[in-house]
Structure 1
């Protein structure tokens, strides 16, 4: 007859095994928090860059549309300088489109950073910062492709409106960026010789 010997095995973990498990779990949690912190910093940086790019794209689009809609209004001569331009547009940014609206785009400096300031009509204003820009200036191109610092140019006979309005920008990294808006309509007032007959 054989005797069966029962051996009892201990159930559970020893203190040493428990300490090893806790040490590994602690290292995993620490690495997880470190990765989460890096992810949050990277996400904040990407969001900041994305927001600046969206703002810059929107500013460029508004400026181009507003200038593209310039019309040669006889009662309001277009006046363009390096830091400001005045005109009449049919594509205002803040008003209903289609009607003639007086606009003024100007470059202002706040805390050493250039901003575009838009005035439409008598009471509408919009301040648009130019992130990453250290200096900005308007320039005006005639139909022959010559650039002028002001419009109308000092010498010669020129159209009421330039062919293209440019915004030259010097960036803080030393590069340059140019936004250009082509005037889409007529560049001179239309004179109707039979206008008196309609009244």
Structure 2
């Protein structure tokens, strides 16, 4: 008679080690996946925040241009003037005040050829402070549209237009990514007392 061993219930040590190694491998893959997902989520949040800042900055620029107020005749303080890299005037659509309250505004473009971008800067003339709004790729410039549909690098293009506003102001960068056209919404000149 041969003696039979009873069947053992449970797992052998080798089976247990194999199971533990498999669970550890799957767990390490899951941790790596969670780390990757967290980094991807942070990248998406940064990208979304940058797009929101860019959109808000361009809206501020557009609002300030739309709210430009026609200067009082022969008043140098309130005249709108600009060149390729800056402009200043009086706007009712300022960043610094409630909408509708006229305030002196100025925008500047500071080009940095080494870095390959231009910074759009809002200047608060009365408080002597500057807010860097956003960075634009390449060299950026302002252009001014007259009533005849011609673009100019400087405003006023002629002394006759010194007491008037341009029809629109564009902000454009050398790269095709940026072109913002902001139309002046109010009257381009103030009526003279005889016209009232």
TM-score range normalised by the length of the shorter chain: 0.7 to 0.9
Shift of 1:126: 1.8
Query: Are residues 1:192 and 2:190 paired?
Result: no
Query: Are residues 1:118 and 2:131 paired?
Result: no
Structure-2-length-normalised TM-score: 0.84
Query: Are residues 1:163 and 2:167 paired?
Result: yes
1:133-177 deviation line (CA, Å, top 9, x unaligned): 121100011122211111111486577101010001134xxx342
Rounded to whole Å, the distance in 2 between the matches of 1:9 and 1:36 is 43
Q: Mean alpha-carbon deviation: is it higher for 66-75 or for 115-124? A: 115-124
Aligned partner of 1:128 among 121, 124, 133:
133
Distance 1:157 1:94, change over 3 A: closer
Q: How many pairs does the alignment contain?
A: 186
Distance 1:194 1:184, change over 3 A: closer
Query: Are residues 1:29 and 2:33 paired?
Result: no
Gaps (5+ residues) in structure 2?
A: none
Gaps (5+ residues) in structure 1?
A: 1-6
Does the 8 Å contact 1:85/1:104 carry over to 2? yes
Q: CA RMSD in A?
A: 2.4
Alignment of structure 1 residues 44-55 onto 2, 5 Å: 44-55=42-53
Does the 8 Å contact 2:147/2:166 carry over to 1? yes
Which portions of structure 1, spanning 4 or more consecutive aligned residues, are displaced by more than 6 angstroms?
none
Query: Are residues 1:180 and 2:181 paired?
Result: yes
